[in-house]
Amino acid sequence: MKTWSPDFLLQEFGKRMDEWVHLTMDRTVRLAVTGLNQSGKTVFTTTLIHQLLHALQGSNLPSFLVTLENRLQGAKVMLQPDMDVPTFQYDRYIRALLGTKPTWPVPTDALSEIRLAIRFKPSGLLSKRISPTTTLYLDIIDYPGEWLLDLPMLSLSFEAWSAQTFQLCEEEPRLSLSASWRHDLANLPLSRPAQDETLRRISEAYTEFLLACKHPTIGLSFLQPGRFTIPGDLKGAPLLTFCPLPPPDADGVVVGSLREEMGKRYESYKKFIIETFFKRHFSRFDRQIVLLDLLNALNRGPGAFSDMQTALEAILENFRYGPSNLLSRLFYPRIDKLLFAATKADFVAANQHHNMERLLRRLVARPANDASFLGVEIQTQALSSLRCTRTVVRDHEGRRLSFVQGIPKGRKSESLLFPGEIPETVPDAHEWDANRFNFMDFEPRRPSDAEGPFPPHIRLDQALEFLLGDKLR
């Protein structure tokens, strides 16, 4: 039996007021999409938009409650709010993906933005009475993973950052790839006056090292400073012309020296590039999805795989609360939901998805289970933005095996392949036999079992529900 105490009434009134304010005002969500090592963020953003735009025409999003409950009333592309941010080229990308000869779109290495308006009927009883239709403005911001991986530099001094980089270079593949740069460094007069040409030469050697690490055959992700490999208009500016240095000797840092100048440039990089990204963009994001290509990381072996782990930990560090975290002092990031998604789940057989998710969860679990996070809900998931294969179960030499049927990358016709199995834990050192993993890439062709007019996917609807579901109640 209810008690209509004054407290209860006040409390109820407050709740209703909140709901009313919430509903009569249009809402905006800024969803940030980024990825590590060619994880397919352009394809993810493109298909996500496409599914939302066509959700009323019967696209297949059973886990996305607003569609399941028939409350979605339509979505369309709107003019974006920021005049000086490139527009995400949805129409160009979707034409590439769904054309008569589908191809993977060629993405740009920069931040871009698009705004959708999603009209829906709210689910609450009162809500319906107050406002039969509400609009959610969804701003999707697609940006390079390199920018996200720069954020931890904000809390590191030049010396601390240098030390961290040198430590990473003690292990392969960085040990070999950095040899030429470290050799040049050994001959550098660090306490002598800074010369423009010397700075440029050594910085070019360091940039070449980063580019070698980033090359698809190696596929490392944790590469700082991120803008060195995607400089854009700042190519050749002093703040992109430095490199980490070994610790100073007894001389310390001589005024006017090469070493001092390197430190100044590092600080300029932090100030002009990282802080600008942080203040202008990152601090305004509401939701973040980080995509990663777990299959290619496994293909590339223990070096690339452990580097991806380092990158994931560095990303999570941005959300950790603590007095040493510069970010939390600068600004409180607004992100309250963070999704790590392993893409290209369709490149393995359906019975491997479970292991794919378990493996990803293990990678993220250790840092994310820490209690000191800033109230961020973290989730992991395996998905495919655009399913290009189908799983075929066949008997093979007396065993039932799950094959994948699709058009392997670079070929013209379908093949039936056995991509192998995904381990559910991070393999131990001795388990990384040569070629243990050899997952294939596929062309973006519709698989033969796909029904309906909409591009098939795997669990894209679950990602949507996690990222947006609560905003569409």
Among residues 256 and 452, whose Cβ is nearest to a second copy? 256
The 52-81 contact track toward a second copy, x by CB under 8 A, reads -------------------------xxxx-
- In angstroms, the CA 283 to CA 333 distance is 5
Is 320 a binding residue for a second copy by CB under 8 A? The answer is: no
The single residue among 20, 54, 56, 86 that binds a second copy, judged by CB under 8 A, is: 86
- Cis? peptide before 173, omega within 30° of 0: yes
Is residue 450 within 8 Å of residue 387, measured between CB atoms? yes
Half-sphere exposure of 419 (CA within 13 A, CB side): 31
Task: Based on the shown chain and the rule CB under 8 A, indicate whether residue 443 belongs to the binding site for a second copy.
Answer: no
In angstroms, give the least distance from the CB of 198 to a second copy. Answer: 11
- Binding test (CB under 8 A) with a second copy, winner from 2, 4, 101, 236: 236
The least distance separating a second copy from the CB of residue 267, rounded to whole angstroms, comes to 9
Long-range contacts (CB closer than 8 Å, 24 or more residues apart) made by 245-254 = 245/158, 245/162, 245/185, 245/190, 246/162, 246/166, 246/185, 247/159, 247/162, 247/163, 248/159, 248/190, 251/191, 254/191
Q: Which of 21, 83, 125, 429 lies at the binding interface for a second copy (CB under 8 A)?
A: 83
257 is an interface residue for a second copy by CB under 8 A: no
Residue 33 sits in the site that holds a second copy (CB under 8 A): no
* Residue 253: CB minimum distance to a second copy, A: 16
Residue 84 makes contact with a second copy by CB under 8 A:
yes
Task: List residues bridging with 78 in a β-sheet.
Answer: 115
Q: Which of 239, 359, 458, 460 binds a second copy (CB under 8 A)?
A: 239
Q: Which is nearer to a second copy, 128 or 264 (CB)?
A: 264
Where does this chain touch a second copy (CB under 8 A) — which range of 165-173, 238-246, 317-325, 335-343? 238-246
**CB 468, min distance to a second copy, A:** 21
Q: Which is nearer to a second copy, 46 or 60 (CB)?
A: 46
One of 130, 211, 234, 330 touching a second copy (CB under 8 A)? 234
Selected binder of a second copy within 264, 284, 445, 473 (CB under 8 A): 264
How many residues at the interface with a second copy, by CB under 8 A?
A: 34
389 interacts with a second copy by CB under 8 A: no
254 binds a second copy (CB under 8 A): no
Q: Which stretch binds a second copy (CB under 8 A): 177-185, 257-265, 335-343, 346-354?
A: 257-265
Kindly tell me which residue out of 87, 306, 328, 379 binds a second copy, with binding defined by CB under 8 A. 87
Least gap, CB of 196 to a second copy (angstroms): 6
Of 133, 42, 51, nearest to 90 by C-alpha is 42
CB contact at 8 A, 115 and 79? yes
Are the CB atoms for 142 and 111 separated by under 8 Å? yes
Residue 211 neighbours by CB distance under 10 Å: 14
168-227 residues in contact with a second copy (CB under 8 A) are 194, 196-197, 199-200
For the bound state, the minimum distance from the C-beta of residue 76 to a second copy, rounded and expressed in Å, comes to 9
Q: Give whichever of 268 and 328 is closer to a second copy, judged by the CB atom.
A: 268
Q: Is 237 in the site for a second copy (CB under 8 A)?
A: yes
- Of positions 31, 66, 85, 463, contacts a second copy by CB under 8 A: 85
Q: Segment near a second copy (CB under 8 A), from 20-28, 151-159, 233-241, 295-303?
A: 233-241
- Residue 250 to residue 39: CA distance in whole angstroms: 46
Is the CB of 188 or the CB of 417 nearer to a second copy? 188
Could you give phi then psi for residue 462, rounded to 5 degrees? Answer: -70, -40
Question: Which of 74, 229, 238, 470 forms a contact with a second copy (CB under 8 A)?
Answer: 238
Can residue 373 be called a binding residue for a second copy (CB under 8 A)?
A: no
4 exposure class (CB count in 10 Å sphere: 0-12, 13-18, 19+): exposed
The correct pick among 60, 241, 309, 343 for binding a second copy (CB under 8 A) is 241
Footprint of a second copy (CB under 8 A) = 77-80, 82-87, 89, 91, 108, 110, 112, 194, 196-197, 199-200, 232-239, 241, 261, 264-265, 268, 272
